[in-house]
Structure 1
Amino acid sequence: MGRRVTPDEGLLSMTSTTGTAADADRALKARHRAMWALGDYPRLAADLLPELGRTLVEACGVASGDRVLDVAAGSGNVAVQAAKAGASVVASDLTPELFDAGRARAEAEGVDLEWREGDAEALPFADGEFDVVLSCVGVMFAPHHQPAADELVRVCRPGGRIGLISWTPEGFIGQLFATMKPYAPPPPPGASPPPLWGREDHVLELLGDRVTDVTTERRMLTVDHFDRPEDFRDYFKAVYGPTIAVYRSLAEEPERAAALDGELAELARRMDRGQGSTVVDWEYLLLTATKRRETVPSPR
């Protein structure tokens, strides 16, 4: 049996950087962009995550006439659903290589939306530009959590809505990152673990008193796409950028790569509740909030 991994989530960045803070940040973001361009994230989103886009759009009551921003949108899992609800939508992501698949999906669904390259920690939009600001397992991967949260609030109009879906530390994807962490290069100084966004107390601290009417709920996404635990592992090795990046870092260490093979399969086996095929529940945190109409300082 594989060892039990504690929820000690780790950001999977390639290496730390040197030089000025601005140079270091640019280099870090360049590596993040390259990591998410690896493999085929649009395929994963289409195969496993379409339910989450619908869930977030419905939870925030997105409707015709809303101006909506999908932050760290990837290939538009949320953005396309918001456009189908009649909203005017901008999908923004650090990795524009994902946009072609998103455009194709939007065309297939008969909707039109805008695609803009943008860093979640420095969004290229005006204060209060959007009625609804959403992110589905996206903004959580920005390395610096407080600036990312500040941007979510800044671009939302007073009285507008903010909605987030984030993987929890204890859930399957949180445990996936915890399993990979010992095999990955260390994160750069100042980076925070992504699944912290799946903790209610952490997100509430990030948003502070700038929001009201906050609701949080832990839910499960049931994934029954794989016949065997090994199939899950091989799929993630082929299509999921963070997993691909870890294995690339182990290219000269075949024994460690083999050990990670075993641990990833064991993770799926341990959490499998299926009979005859692999069925795993992936826990996530759904948060909705309203931006206060009065100005409240950032909780920095």
Structure 2
Amino acid sequence: MPFEGLFKDSAFSGAKLLGASLILIMLFKLLLRQIPDTRLRSNLWRALGPFLLCLLLSMLYSENLLVSLDSLRELAVGLVLFFVTLLIAREVNLLMLCRLLAVSVAITCVIALVSAKYQVGGRAIGLLQDANYFALLIAMAVPPAIFLALRSPHWPVRLFWVGISLTLMAGMTKTDSRSGLLVVLFTIAIGVWHYRDRLKGLRPKHLGFAMFAVAIVIPLGIAVLPAEYVARIQSLSMLKSGAHSADTSLGRRTSYLVVGGQMIRQNPLLGSGLGTFPIHYAQTGFASSFSENMNEPDLFRRPTTPTWSCSASWAFPAA
């Protein structure tokens, strides 16, 4: 996944070839009963079943069936990966997966940091096409890197993973992505909550060392971060007062809420159809007001904020 961009000029990317091969192998193994079908059992089906039913109903009453079918194709990839995960998760070496993910993404971070070729407007994009996509990729690699740094028994190895974690965070700051940083903070918070039982074993002296480390790391981190990135993070405080024209990025995201709210009011039950949010948005004045690159006429026909796009397109079923 981290090196997907190396094959972006080809119709059949490396990710597609590997993914298709993996799916075919799993299918044949399942048909030949080399993998028991009992592995497909999961308590997630109780939630996924109604979700798929709502998706089908939204498809049947879609305003634009072709667009909905294309969005369904994208969602089908995730559904297939869900099946594959159920089939092979028990055989996967999760520690090795964590190592590969953290190291490979860190390599792309180094490439993006040292070469302007892998930057757009000063924002690192790695081997991808968008800084926010790259930030999301980094956000997926940070938790495994931190986990390995905490779990490694030897100090040299632990320092290596600490270095990998710092490299990933350096890449994150170079993307100038606020949403990516928020995702990292949320995932770290989830990890702390997941291991909360282990935190009960901490003694007061441990808390003292932790507070001392925080008192050093936070000011040092703020001092090391680029001033522009710190200013972008501070601009999140504008959200308290609603839409703000001083920050076009936040203003554009606020406009997503406005257009999505109108779509839900117009079609409150089944929505306007899967994937139709970009079409509705492109027909509003927001599309031209917030366009940052008029050389790309389909800029606002692309998927925008995925969560809100799905919610607005499906209305009540999305809940």
Q: Which has the higher contact order (CA 8 A, sep 6+)?
A: 1
TM-score (norm: length of structure 2): 0.28
Higher helix share: 2
Higher strand share: 1
TM-score (norm: length of structure 1): 0.29
